[in-house]
Structure 1
């Protein structure tokens, strides 16, 4: 089991300290970090982390305000407040915080928090096993086609429709790529570009292109898939041991 984590703190040294402590756990994948609420919100919506370690004071948008906004999402991430301010604890737990860590971080307390997160995630996945949702429903003409996510090679946005390329066939749907990404987020899919979503199981090669961008080669796909430079680091983290 892997838990995808994001660290939000306006102090670089605090972010590095917390990341160092969290990297000691093989169950934790740190997928992103942010130094302010606005940047954090954008990355949370795009990357869908399981857990956000969140400071209280992070610029114009406080951590509490960000937590309040996140609770409006259909599937909000778990929140762990990690801050130097003990007097916000009562308010923080109103936003269903899993824990409230105080700076300077204590290794034993961080361990307790991580163990609590692991137990919660295990319990949820036992209650709602991922295999219950096996097929992607695609409306085509007057029928609904059910496609296994494992058969999807990649998806891309073309004018006003999304194209889904599988081993057997190519489908066209009006569903926005962002909505499709949300449906497939528990499977091995990654947004490589604003217009492309790929099945990382099919990736064979990553090749430099220009201006920091790359191109992907997928198994059985003659076309090259673009990878924006902003996504390269996260893609490599997802792909590589």
Structure 2
């Protein structure tokens, strides 16, 4: 398999160094380079690359902003940050970045990244979907198994992820999480709720127009929009 690759860095030396290291991998085809994130966005839209190596601190738009935009694309590329600054790691992984390489580049570290790419693509995991959900808590990143999530809700200010043990808050919108969890059987029961179908134990009605669902382990009633009742029942009763 050949991976169409773009390098984005405002320093020519860094672009050349990374291109040289990547030249030892026959599967990597460097199709374009850019010296700014804005220029990189144009190239990504034009060529639809498989992989993008991008610096973070650049004039104008930075690499984090670039990654946030590309993850909304219909075919988002694998994003690998290549930077001299370790302090952006938390922000980087919030964008669902695949990896975070520090300058000066090390051949061994780059090889580890390439091995992971091969493993991921062989198992057909799209970069737009996830194996675990990452959330920030103070100075840590916590990885949540999607199967352990009971439901996700959104209020005016934040998104709340509820598991059997505790709650987490996330900066992602409900729509973003719905897209990330598309392969993990989550169902939008209401404009403000996303529920793990495997955790649903009951669908109830208070009247002809008011519906709720209940999930494993908690008594809380989760609203179910009338328009979604038929679709959910068909899904549960398949």
* Number of aligned residue pairs: 126
1:70-85 equivalent positions in 2, closer than 5 A: 70-85=70-85
1:45 maps to which residue?
45
Q: TM-score under structure 2 normalisation? A: 0.52
Task: Give the Cα separation in 2 of the matches to 1:11 and 1:123.
Answer: 35
Q: TM-score under structure 1 normalisation? A: 0.51
1:169-188 equivalent positions in 2, closer than 5 A: none
Task: Give the Cα separation in 2 of the matches to 1:125 and 1:55.
Answer: 24
Structure 1 SS opposite 2:124:
helix
Task: Give the Cα separation in 1 of the matches to 2:111 and 2:96.
Answer: 20
Provide, for residues 139-172 of structure 1, a one-character-per-residue CA deviation record: whole Å limited to 9, x for no partner: xxxxxxxxxxxxxxxxxxxxxxxxxxxxxxxxxx
Structure 1 SS opposite 2:90:
helix
Task: Give the Cα separation in 2 of the matches to 1:82 and 1:91.
Answer: 14
Closer/same/farther in 2, CA of residues 109 and 69 from structure 1, 3 Å limit:
same
2:94 maps to which residue?
94
Deviation, 1:58, is: 2.0
Provide, for residues 102-123 of structure 1, a one-character-per-residue CA deviation record: whole Å limited to 9, x for no partner: 0000110011111111211222
1:129-140 equivalent positions in 2, closer than 5 A: none
Deviation, 1:125, is: 7.6
Which runs of 4 or more aligned residues in structure 1 lie more than 2 Å from their structure 2 counterparts after TM superposition?
A: none
State the Cα RMSD in Å.
1.4
2:141 maps to which residue?
none
2:63 maps to which residue?
63
User: Does residue 119 of structure 1 match 2:119?
Assistant: yes
Q: Which moved more, 1:113-122 or 1:42-51?
A: 113-122
Task: Give the Cα separation in 2 of the matches to 1:38 and 1:88.
Answer: 20
Task: Give the Cα separation in 2 of the matches to 1:125 and 1:62.
Answer: 27
Task: Give the Cα separation in 2 of the matches to 1:59 and 1:33.
Answer: 16
1:167 maps to which residue?
none
Deviation, 1:4, is: 0.9
1:12 maps to which residue?
12
Task: Give the Cα separation in 2 of the matches to 1:20 and 1:122.
Answer: 25
2:110 maps to which residue?
110
Structure 2 SS opposite 1:100:
strand
1:122-161 equivalent positions in 2, closer than 5 A: 122-124=122-124
Gaps (5+ residues) in structure 2?
127-238
Structure 2 SS opposite 1:124:
coil
Structure 1 SS opposite 2:6:
strand
Task: Give the Cα separation in 2 of the matches to 1:96 and 1:125.
Answer: 13
